[in-house]
């Protein structure tokens, strides 16, 4: 069980700042687009905004294709003797 409550994307009473973050990651239509980490961090709108901006920098505006990104993860795991 999570120590922090997970924000419910379907909750109509979410504060506007939290609603903006939730909508950016998948909205109230379903839970598929909203990772649990964002559901936990969304309890604090300021922290959620920072995490969302960092995610946009890492994944949104990059030039890597999903296959290249996966290859980078896999290579880093092999180099560091980590089980993927």
Structure confidence at residue 82 (pLDDT)? 87
Structure confidence at residue 79 (pLDDT)? 92
> What is the rounded CA–CA span in Å between residue 27 and residue 64?
25
On the question of pLDDT at 5 being above 80, the answer is: yes
Write the pLDDT tens digit of every residue in 32-61.
567 777 888 888 888 888 887 776 655 665
CB of 42 within 8 A of CB of 21? Answer: yes
- What is the pTM for the complete model shown? 0.55
Structure confidence at residue 84 (pLDDT)? 63
pLDDT band for position 2 (cuts 50, 70, 90): low
Q: What are phi and psi of 64, to 5 degrees?
A: -80, 140
Residues 6+ apart with CB under 8 A from 18: 7, 42, 45, 48
């Amino acid at each position: 069980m999570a120590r922090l409550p997970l924000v419910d994307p379907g909750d109509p009473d979410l504060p506007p700042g939290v609603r903006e973050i939730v909508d950016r990651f998948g909205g109230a239509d379903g839970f598929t687009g909203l990772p649990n980490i964002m559901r936990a961090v969304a309890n604090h709108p300021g922290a959620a905004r920072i995490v969302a901006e960092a995610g946009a920098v890492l994944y949104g505006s990059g030039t890597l294709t999903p296959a290249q990104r996966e290859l980078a993860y896999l290579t880093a795991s092999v180099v560091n003797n980590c089980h993927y």
